[in-house]
């Protein structure tokens, strides 16, 4: 196989694999930039996947399914937002319980749909104009799902919103120094609510991609740690939307290349690789920045209470 | 605490306090359990099962009949071991959610001894427990080392290690350790008789593991209450800064606690393979999510070692009830997961309620400056991402 053919195939596969990671990690970046960590990504993705599949299966409309998937993620994140922001409970435990609840609940309600293929799943399309580009066209803009292209677009939009608007500045400030924002008479908790809800919406979409496009079906192990890998991706990308795309592609490329070793390695060991690679990526991030938590929002994981330091 | 609610009450203000009275903690915990029970009742109705009969069946088959009770206690064993370990880890703010993988690592260690070591019969079981504990501890020590030395986020690494352990077991039983007779389902060869734990009568209650678990709980309770090590853990859990001033080596204590916690989970894995399955089996059959449920056990116990016993028994009941629902009532087998997640969510959501009270607002006095997030048990894990989130 020619080198450029291999490169194109690898990047294209990597992108398809990385799409749910991109959606979920972008959502988590937005939430964590506002200072609220949400460990419920895995659960929100599972709920999104099962809801999306159920709605698409009953209505026959894959886009209704996608909308339902996003809403399911949003609803789940609202629970986390209420507990972690309003009740000021421990955000880490709250997110963790959301994951456990989401996984259990999705398995419970999804029993009726296990093993049924989606009759009319999402179809792959090419992007007009851009598909003609040399090299980049076949790599990024041909034969993918709309959600894949939309993920790339969403990253750019998230970057613009976070770094080039007043609202984005406010959101990041809330994550860095909520006391100062509050003192300036600007809202803290509403901003955090919005960030967490957007994060949930995107995680739901990530789940919808899995059950409506990538593997148009529903099964209990569908998310299988992708939500946790997305959390790691947010850290690896140092909470920056554009770096999420690069990091996601790197993750995807590694997994794709590893799966080419299928003939040499037993499948169980290959399946292990994404998780091992995630640990390595985190170690690399830590090594690169030394002991200092470079890039992390200053107030990450801490509930805000007026008057409290 | 909720802005609108506070405004609506006008004269009243939520004042957080550092410590919660025990009766209130108990009340809130029972409230969370009651809400979960209501949800389960609703599921009964939704599936067309008469709630009263369903609950009667569950209580009879998990608590009243001797065989059922033995199943409840049997399922509490891994929860006791993993739970007491996590209690230790959480007190040092090491946010280990990898007990599931450490249980599997312990099972691998025990299976390696049972299947391959040529030892005199009386030494086999003790060696299995030792190997399982060491394997679990090693599995947990890697994320702890990464956390202590480089500040790598332990929440994600311990979780990734769960998946790695799962696929490692799956590889072993499909590859090098696959039984010659295994067709369809994969598993290892059966353990020899001297590598199987004795059980109580005709039940599946492997009592040696239970004895070890209870002894461990007692030792930890003593250690936390009476020793210098317990003092160091306490200081570290309450304030890492204070610990630094007191000359406590946070890295060393964290590493030790994490290894101890993972070792305890490893022991649980030994009990499951040597007491129940008597061979290495499919990982999701081997640990039915005990490692995740143990997080709830540790949180329900709220930093008190002895409270792990009732908490583990409660979750043992939830798991045993799950079996009854599946087998006798033909309800989905995922209900215990939902109950565990729900109780965890309710407990964490009600956590602030246990630590505070409504007070009359005096004009516009300064807001309370007390720490609303204190408390050793469910204390935030030193903001893993803030201090070293990578």
Residue B330 pLDDT level (bands cut at 50, 70, 90)? confident
| pLDDT at B305 exceeding the cut of 50 | yes
Please, are residues B156 and A231 in contact by the beta-carbon 8 Å criterion? Answer: yes
What does DSSP assign to residue B388?
H
Say what the alpha-carbon torsion angle B334, B338, B343, B345 is, to the nearest 10 degrees: 150
From CA A115, how far away is CA A108, in angstroms rounded?
14
**pLDDT of the residue at B389:** 34
User: In this structure, how many other beta carbons lie within 10 angstroms of the beta carbon of residue A219?
Assistant: 18
Indicate the helix (H) or strand (E) that contains B210.
helix B207-226
User: In this structure, how many other beta carbons lie within 10 angstroms of the beta carbon of residue A239?
Assistant: 24
List the 249-288 stretch of A: residues with Cβ below 8 A of B: 266, 268-269, 271-272, 275-276, 278-279, 282-283, 285-287
Cα of B179 vs its chain's centroid, Å = 31
Q: Is residue B7 part of a domain?
A: no
Can you name the residues that pair with B12 across neighbouring β-strands?
B360
**pLDDT of the residue at A205:** 97
Over the stretch B210-222, which tens digit does the pLDDT of each residue have? 999 999 999 999 9
Please, are residues A72 and A47 in contact by the beta-carbon 8 Å criterion? Answer: yes
Cβ contacts (< 8 Å) between A32 and chain B: which residues? 385
From CA B323, how far away is CA B62, in angstroms rounded?
9
The pair of three-digit structure tokens given for residue A132, joined into one six-digit string: 């003609």
From CA A234, how far away is CA A238, in angstroms rounded?
6
Residue B15 pLDDT level (bands cut at 50, 70, 90)? low
- The mean of the pLDDT values for chain A is 90
Residue B360 pLDDT level (bands cut at 50, 70, 90)? low
Say what the alpha-carbon torsion angle A159, A162, A166, A171 is, to the nearest 10 degrees: 170
Residue B383 pLDDT level (bands cut at 50, 70, 90)? very low
- The mean of the pLDDT values for chain B is 84
The pair of three-digit structure tokens given for residue B293, joined into one six-digit string: 């449920």
How large is the C-alpha radius of gyration of chain A? 19
Can you name the residues that pair with B14 across neighbouring β-strands?
B358
The pair of three-digit structure tokens given for residue A205, joined into one six-digit string: 């979409």
CA distance A289 to chain B (A): 9
| pLDDT at B10 exceeding the cut of 80 | no
**Number of domains composing chain B:** 1
From CA B32, how far away is CA B311, in angstroms rounded?
13
Inform me whether the C-beta atom of residue B380 falls under 8 Å from chain A C-beta atoms: yes
Tokens 């939704």 — which residue? B46
From CA A294, how far away is CA B356, in angstroms rounded?
35
Please, are residues B378 and B351 in contact by the beta-carbon 8 Å criterion? Answer: yes
Nearest to B2 among A86, A285, A298 (CB): A86
Please give the span between the terminal C-alpha atoms of chain A, in angstroms, as a whole number.
61
pTM of the model: 0.87
The pair of three-digit structure tokens given for residue A263, joined into one six-digit string: 């003939």
CA distances from B43 to A161, B71, B256, B328 (A): 43, 23, 43, 15
List the 289-308 stretch of A: residues with Cβ below 8 A of B: 289, 291, 293, 296, 298-303, 305-308
Tokens 């410590």 — which residue? B19
Tokens 């909520």 — which residue? A178
Q: Which runs of consecutive H residues, i.e. helices, occur in chain B?
A: 3-9, 22-46, 51-59, 66-91, 99-116, 121-150, 154-174, 207-226, 228-238, 240-245, 250-271, 283-286, 290-301, 308-327, 335-354, 384-388
Domain range enclosing B40: 20-354
Q: Which residue has the higher pLDDT, B107 or B347?
A: B107
**pLDDT of the residue at B16:** 59
- The CATH number that applies at residue B30 is 1.10.3470
**pLDDT of the residue at B367:** 45
**pLDDT average, residue stretch B5-30:** 66
**pLDDT average, residue stretch A116-143:** 86
Cβ contacts (< 8 Å) between A43 and chain B: which residues? 341
**Domain segments of chain A as ranges:** 3-289
**pLDDT average, residue stretch B7-29:** 66
3-state SS class at B146: helix
Domain A3-289: give its CATH code.
1.10.3470
Q: Is residue B58 part of a domain?
A: yes
3-state SS class at A124: strand
Say what the alpha-carbon torsion angle B111, B117, B122, B127 is, to the nearest 10 degrees: -60
Q: Which DSSP string corresponds to B219-249?
A: HHHHHHHHSHHHHHHHHHHH-HHHHHHTT--
How large is the C-alpha radius of gyration of chain B? 22
Cβ contacts (< 8 Å) between B157 and chain A: which residues? 279, 282
| pLDDT at B85 exceeding the cut of 50 | yes
Over the stretch B238-293, which tens digit does the pLDDT of each residue have? 777 888 888 888 888 888 999 999 999 999 999 999 999 999 999 988 988 899 99
**pLDDT of the residue at A79:** 95
Q: Phi and psi at residue A125, in whole multiples of 5°?
A: -135, 165
Pick from A247, A246, A269: which is nearest to A258 by CA? A269
Closest-CA residue of chain B to A220: B334
Say what the alpha-carbon torsion angle B114, B119, B123, B126 is, to the nearest 10 degrees: -30
Q: Is A189 in Cβ contact with B171 (below 8 Å)?
A: no
**pLDDT of the residue at B380:** 39
Pick from A158, A212, A152, A197: which is nearest to A19 by CA? A152
Q: Is B3 in Cβ contact with A301 (below 8 Å)?
A: no
Indicate the helix (H) or strand (E) that contains B351.
helix B335-354
The widest CA-to-CA distance across chain A, in whole angstroms, is 64
ipTM for the predicted complex comes to 0.87
Residue B313 pLDDT level (bands cut at 50, 70, 90)? very high
3-state SS class at B378: coil
Closest-CA residue of chain B to A235: B390
Q: What angle do CA A254, A259, A262 make, to 5 degrees?
A: 150
From CA A189, how far away is CA A182, in angstroms rounded?
9
């Amino acid at each position: 196989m020619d080198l450029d053919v291999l490169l194109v195939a690898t990047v294209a596969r990597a992108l398809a694999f990385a799409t749910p990671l991109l959606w979920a990690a972008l959502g988590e970046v937005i939430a964590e930039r506002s200072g609220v960590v949400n460990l419920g990504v895995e659960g929100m993705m599972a709920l999104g996947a099962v809801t999306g599949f159920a709605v698409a299966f009953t209505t026959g409309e894959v886009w209704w399914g996608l909308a339902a998937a996003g809403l399911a993620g949003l609803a789940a994140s609202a629970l986390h937002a209420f507990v972690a922001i309003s009740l000021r409970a421990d955000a880490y435990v709250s997110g963790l319980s959301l994951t456990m609840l989401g996984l259990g609940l999705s398995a419970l309600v999804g029993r009726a749909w296990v093993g049924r293929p989606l009759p009319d799943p999402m179809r792959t399309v090419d992007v007009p104009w851009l598909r003609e580009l040399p090299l980049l066209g076949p790599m990024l803009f041909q034969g993918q799902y709309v959600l894949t292209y939309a993920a790339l677009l969403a990253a750019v939009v998230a970057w613009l919103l976070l770094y080039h608007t007043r609202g984005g500045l406010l959101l990041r400030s809330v994550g860095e120094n909520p006391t100062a924002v509050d003192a300036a008479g600007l809202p803290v908790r509403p901003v955090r609510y919005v960030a967490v809800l957007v994060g949930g919406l995107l995680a739901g979409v990530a789940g919808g991609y899995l059950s409506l496009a990538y593997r148009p079906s529903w099964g209990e192990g569908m998310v299988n740690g992708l939500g946790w890998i997305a959390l790691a991706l947010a850290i690896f990308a140092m909470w920056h939307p554009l770096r999420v795309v690069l990091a996601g592609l790197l993750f995807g490329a590694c997994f794709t290349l590893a799966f080419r070793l299928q003939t040499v390695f037993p499948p169980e060991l290959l399946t292990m690789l994404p998780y091992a690679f995630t640990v390595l990526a985190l170690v690399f991030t830590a090594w690169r920045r030394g002991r200092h938590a470079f890039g992390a929002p200053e107030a990450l994981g801490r509930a805000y209470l007026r008057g409290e330091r | 605490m909720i802005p609108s609610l506070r405004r609506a009450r006008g004269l009243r203000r939520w004042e957080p306090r550092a410590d919660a009275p025990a009766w209130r903690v108990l009340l809130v915990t029972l409230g969370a359990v009651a809400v979960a029970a209501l949800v389960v009742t609703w599921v009964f109705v939704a599936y067309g099962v008469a709630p009263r009969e369903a609950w009667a069946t569950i209580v009879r088959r998990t608590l009243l009949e001797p065989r059922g009770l033995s199943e409840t206690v049997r399922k509490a064993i891994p929860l006791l071991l993993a739970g007491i370990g996590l209690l230790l880890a959480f007190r040092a703010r090491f946010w280990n959610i990898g007990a599931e993988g450490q249980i599997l690592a312990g099972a691998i260690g025990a299976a390696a001894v049972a299947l391959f070591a040529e030892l005199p019969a009386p030494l086999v079981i003790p060696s299995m427990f030792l190997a399982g504990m060491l394997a679990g501890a090693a599995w947990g020590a890697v994320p702890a080392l990464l956390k202590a030395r480089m500040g790598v986020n332990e929440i994600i690494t311990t979780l990734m290690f769960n998946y790695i352990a799962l696929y490692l077991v799956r590889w072993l039983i499909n590859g090098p350790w696959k039984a010659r007779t295994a067709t369809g389902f994969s598993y290892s060869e059966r353990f020899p008789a001297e590598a199987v734990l004795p059980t109580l009568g005709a039940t599946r209650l492997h009592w040696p593991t239970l004895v070890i678990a209870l002894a461990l709980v007692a030792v930890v309770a003593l250690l936390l209450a009476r020793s210098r090590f317990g003092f160091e853990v306490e200081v570290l859990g309450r304030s890492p800064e204070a610990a630094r001033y007191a000359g406590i080596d946070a890295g060393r204590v964290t590493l030790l606690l994490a290894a101890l916690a993972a070792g305890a989970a490893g022991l649980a894995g030994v009990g499951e393979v040597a007491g129940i399955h008597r061979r290495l089996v499919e990982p999701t059959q081997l640990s039915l999510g005990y490692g995740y449920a143990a997080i709830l056990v540790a949180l329900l116990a709220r930093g008190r070692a002895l409270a792990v016993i009732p908490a583990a028994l409660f979750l043992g009941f939830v798991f045993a009830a799950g079996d009854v629902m599946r087998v006798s009532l033909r309800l989905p087998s995922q209900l215990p997961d939902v109950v565990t997640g729900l109780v965890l969510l309710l407990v964490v959501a009600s956590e602030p309620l246990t630590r505070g009270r409504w007070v009359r607002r005096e004009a516009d006095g300064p807001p309370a400056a007390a720490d609303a997030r204190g408390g050793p048990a469910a204390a935030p894990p030193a903001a893993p991402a803030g201090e070293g989130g990578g």
